[in-house]
A and B are shown apart, each in its own frame.
Chain A
Amino acid sequence: MEQMLQEFISALRASGVRISVAETIEAFRAVSLVGYAKRATLKDALSATLPKSLQEKEIFEECFDRYFALDRFSGDHGEPSSTAPEPDGSESPLSRMVLEGDRDGLAVAMRRAAREVDLSGIRFFTQKSLYIQRILQRMGAERMDGDIENLTARGDGSSRGKAAFLRQAREILYENVRDFVEQQFPLFSKAVTKEIMERYLRGVRLSNLEQRDYERMKVIIKKMVKRLNDLHSRRKKAAKTGCPDLKKTLRENVAYQGLLFDLHWKARKMDRPDILALCDVSRSVETVARFMLLFLYSLSESIARIRSFIFCSNLVEVTHVFEEYGLDEALERLQKGVDLGIRLGRTDYGQAFRDFKAGWLDFVTPKTTILILGDARNNRGNPETGILRLLRERSRRIIWLNPEPPTFWGIGDSEMKRYAPYCYLARECSTILHMQRVVDFLLKTKQ
């Protein structure tokens, strides 16, 4: 039983629940208190000691039901058509169990075999048939085959009947083992596959990502923004204290006859980012734009003071879209330009900057960070570098994220080389890893 619990815990771990050694010990103690007799109580006890958040509880529920599934043997796959002949003592143990109809015995034997061949080591779906064969072998299916051969060789009526029965039973046995492996497989493999996928997605260029990776990407970006936000919204006491607050100190110490007993400190203001984000949605960055917008959406969820704009032939503010709609609908609206008054023609950075200057220049203060996402391909129009310089002078800094690698900057109609001098930071941003570094940089409290 103990090994079973240990295995269940490793299954939980594989599904992404973090369980420490201390918690494992705790679970064992809890189980020794409540016992294995009642399934529901066992579940409650494990649920109190192992998963430690709502998400983990959900995973736990699923794993528990899967792992401690009530073993029904053969029921789903039907019974052999004839009634079971009596065993005569010459059969292998497996055949005898089949003949006696000992389903519990078979279930236990299967679990034992699974443990012996280390089913918890299964990682990829291609290994399934391998494990099915191994389990069958361990249960003694070969000797059962031997029995069938012997009986067929003997040739008399009852032996032939028995052989037919065993052959049928063997099919059913195979089906059962397959079901069992199918059922256990997700327990052990889920996290690994996910991990591999995520690692791969982090490094791949955004423009090469396909629609089917999009869902996964969403999760990664959300996770990233949340982690960064957690990291940076953590209040650090040391950073908060500044010089002594004389007024408050005097006031508080009146009680001690004016002796300066209890010093008070001025709190330093936290530096929360104030961001204006401009995102290019033109055709040249089509493949990347979706992810840029996704990124912007996640940012706007976690950073209070952020205003977002999109531009193509002109520039419009879209902060309200992020606020009003859910993720998918917001992105859909932005890319199609529903009700926004955006013209999706030739990309015109010059016009976008002119629009920005006309409408929102007043919002640019020395505390503002301007974030521009785009490839700076201006179709040879007027780049309006003058406006960018003006913005640079008025704002705290400009950060430009370009999906193209620096070797392409300035080639063809790219104006990046002209814009770059006005940017505090101009970087290639074509993978999630790049994005992560930029956000990290943005949220840093002390600059």
Chain B
Amino acid sequence: MEKKYLTKFETAEGIRDGFKKTGYVCSRQVATTLYLAYHLDKPILVEGPAGVGKTELAKSASLYLEAPLIRLQCYEGLDESKALYEWKYGKQLLYTQILKDKLNEILDGAGDLESSMEKLHAHDDIFFSPRFLEPRPLLRALQQKEGAVLLVDEVDKSDQEFEAFLLEILSDFQVSVPEIGTIRAQEKPFVFLTSNNTREMSEALKRRCLHLYIPFPDVRQEKEIIRVRVPGLADRLRHQIVSFVHELRRLDLKKAPSISETIDWARVLLLLHASSLSASLIRDTLNVLLKFEEDMEVAGDNLHDMVRRAVVKT
């Protein structure tokens, strides 16, 4: 059978260019992993510091494939009924109420209990049919006829049981609903799992996935990202912004500024019509980059040196 999207996954370079058009600059490593994931039918487990674009990668993949993005946000206590499916209890109850009269009609003429039971069995599982099934993200991803991008976000926040339960879906792309049977994927979804490493994932889960670690980008790549995401920014300023952020990351901070914060900062500076970085400008807008009071103080102490280094380099 011809695989879907084959043309979009012919080469790693093609993937790279395609993603760039959606506004995501990926490194060679990312592109190769995407290429492999498609051809090997494997989910990708994406790890890396917060804000390097793990979630963004999945979003861009959905744009690139023109497939719907189905997102499952994990949290402590997430269970099957929230992630996979649930019976619509309310609807079931409502329907039994409405259909009470109908029920009488059907049962009309049945002499005793046994024959009415017989009659009921003829209509057996109507209340446990797909119509009363409320699909949650995982099931919905399997049901998409045109394929989908499934993003299981922050899978490390979920419980161990849930992780075990994911295994069936990840390796066979199928789930079992006791009342209905096994539901297979119409078209295998493209699966991303992201993790912030709050806990170690189990071996079994890792074994089923390709592993991708996205680190903070180097200066060249980050400039490229800013160029794609914030068009209209002067080359010189862009260079200064990225150099300064890299200087910041070198400090001992509670939370180093992420790519998304760099992008926000670049937007802010664009809005302010800044043409070049200066210490006072940075001091005023530093709260876009740093989110902790202590970090602001640390950065403030070294501000002049850092600005000089970032600006002189241009």
Contacts and interface: CB of A to CB of B under 8 A. Distances in A.
B254 interface: no
Contacts of A29: 40
A45 B211 contact: no
Nearest to B32: A44
A44 B42 CA distance: 16
Contact of A48 (B36, B93, B197): B36
A48 B35 CA distance: 11
A262 B200 CA distance: 34
B29 A44 contact: yes
B160 A45 contact: no
Contacts, number: 73
A54 B196 CA distance: 12
Interface residues of B, number: 31
B57 to A, nearest CB: 14
Interface string B41-63: 01011010000000000000000
User: Chain A interface secondary structure, helix, strand, loop or mixed?
Assistant: helix
A22 B44 CA distance: 16
A48 B89 contact: no
A257 B33 contact: no
Contact of A34 (B32, B200, B211): B32
Interface string A246-280: 00000000011100011000000000000000000
A235 B159 contact: yes
B79 to A, nearest CB: 9
A329 interface: no
Given A53-B211, A54-B47, A237-B161, A45 B42 contact: no
Interface in B158-208: 159-161, 197, 199-200, 203, 206-207
Contacts of A53: 47, 200, 206, 211
A57 interface: yes
Contacts of A261: 89
Nearest to A23: B207
Given A22-B207, A26-B42, A33 B89 contact: no
Contacts of A22: 207
B40 A47 contact: no
Nearest to B93: A256
Contact of B212 (A30, A33, A48, A262): A48
Contact of B36 (A34, A52, A230): A34
B39 interface: yes
B4 interface: no
A40 B27 CA distance: 12
B238 to A, nearest CB: 27
A48 B32 contact: yes
Interface in A21-49: 22-23, 26, 29-30, 33-34, 40-41, 44-45, 47-49
A20 B207 contact: yes
B17 to A, nearest CB: 16
A237 to B, nearest CB: 6
A41 B32 contact: yes
A40 B90 CA distance: 57
A237 B159 CA distance: 9
Contacts of A54: 47, 197, 213
Contacts of B159: 235, 237
B83 interface: no
Nearest to B33: A48
A237 B161 CA distance: 8
Nearest to B195: A53
Given A48-B32, A54-B197, 14 more contacts: A20-B203, A33-B39, A44-B28, A48-B33, A49-B36, A52-B209, A53-B47, A57-B213, A234-B160, A237-B159, A256-B89, A256-B90, A261-B89, A262-B89
List 8 A-B pairs, minimum CB-CB distance, nearest first: A44-B32, A52-B206, A48-B33, A52-B211, A48-B210, A44-B29, A30-B36, A33-B39
24 contacts: A20-B203, A26-B42, A33-B36, A34-B12, A34-B32, A34-B35, A40-B28, A41-B32, A47-B211, A48-B32, A48-B37, A48-B210, A48-B211, A48-B212, A49-B210, A49-B211, A51-B211, A52-B45, A52-B209, A53-B206, A57-B211, A230-B200, A235-B159, A261-B89
